Chain A
């Protein structure tokens, strides 16, 4: 390639695992460095906001944005990067569907602050200090970004071109995405880089008739490594989750947690999984159904572990349509 493409990698409400995953491509990172110039990557190199604002509109070829949008600063950065990037990629589960941070959408901002800064047993905060957007100190006024009432996905805040799934995306998925970008052989806008099948479709475990008589958590049972996890009473997100992760969890004898997001034809991952689970509950009367449902500890947190911000109830553009 004659000219190197310019890549920006940014993180918002995420854990940094996506950035590390890029390094996990091992020796291929050198190929990436050969094909691309990294113009911004706060976790790995020293960049300031000024460096980004100094860049011209459309001067970045690709922005890999990981993490969800929780604060006003993250929203501003997302918008600033969007206007400077030709292709915007929601990189990882948080940017694409909210990921783990979006589970906080089950609570109000006030509850989160109260729990984090006052109530947890490990917190010592006798003066009851809670972060404010503005604070007067002898030296002047200090400010902090606003903490929004909920977590937003990247595409609820800005226009997104592609989605790279995973928590974090596997090196294979990242490499597929990078290759597609570098070669210019891109799928239609809005595509998710991954398989079109669901995880169940390619799962090697033995599947027979499914019936759940009790919901169990993985630590409560000795899991048979050859049998379908759902048949063992363990909730596995395989039926509604996109394949492409290489079966890491089920090979380690753990259920799929859904980090590759909804599969191709599924709009709402959690609602669809809830429906699938309900159809294999082994009950025939209302009382039985209530009792069995009560043994499921946390339905919303389980079915929406990585996609709560894209649950239909929460899915709309920030600031109206």
Chain B
């Protein structure tokens, strides 16, 4: 594994609370690791499970979703949708072989800059510990030095004069 592994974490922050919370952390000059790539969404309830999977497909090492505290949603019950999805997504990701540390969902209000900094710090530390996200196929050696194609393929090679790809 690389020694100086810097994880890439995609953060979906809601416009009304968590994004403002992140802003507060910045304005207050709080120190936290720069590994979070923030995507501002109007509501945490807008974040579909496909977005999370897409982030991992594109090479993210972790995904953070943060919205307003329950009861504070700008759209009344947008974050209720988030809280319903979260346990299902957690189960789905663990079944798909994505470690649980890679997905986190929190509630951060506009006043909680300090909490935001802590959440990011803790998440970066955890992901640094477990290492980069690996796609399933990378485990397998896809080089063809293992020439175990089977006899029939060898026969085919003879017919084709060495060009098995046709």
Interface residues of A (CB under 8 A from B): 49-50, 53-54, 57, 72-73, 76, 79-80, 82-84, 105-106, 108-109, 133-134, 143-146, 148-150, 267-268, 270-272, 274-275, 277-279, 281, 283-286, 289-290, 292-294, 296, 298-301, 303, 311-316, 318-319
Interchain CB contact (< 8 A) of A283 among B54, B84, B136: B84
Closest chain A residue, CB of each to CB of B156:
A53
Contacts of A311 in B (CB 8 A): 53, 96
How many residues on the B side are at the interface (Cβ–Cβ under 8 A)? 44
By secondary structure, the B interface counts as helix
Interchain CB contact (< 8 A) of A50 among B89, B142, B159: B159
Interchain CB contact (< 8 A) of A134 among B81, B140, B148: B148
Q: Is B139 an interface residue (CB 8 A)?
A: yes
Contacts of A76 in B (CB 8 A): 149, 153, 156, 164
Q: Could you tell me the distance between the alpha carbons of A78 and B165 in the complex, rounded to whole angstroms?
A: 10
Judge whether B87 and A289 touch: CB under 8 Å.
yes
Closest chain B residue, CB of each to CB of A147:
B140
Closest chain A residue, CB of each to CB of B70:
A285
A166 to chain B, nearest CB (A): 23
Judge whether B149 and A73 touch: CB under 8 Å.
yes
Judge whether B53 and A312 touch: CB under 8 Å.
yes
Q: Using a CB-CB cutoff of 8 Å, which residues 112-154 of chain B contact chain A? A: 135-137, 139-140, 142, 146, 148-153
A12 to chain B, nearest CB (A): 14
Q: Could you tell me the distance between the alpha carbons of A73 and B153 in the complex, rounded to whole angstroms?
A: 8
Judge whether A80 and B166 touch: CB under 8 Å.
yes
Contacts of B135 in A (CB 8 A): 313-314, 316
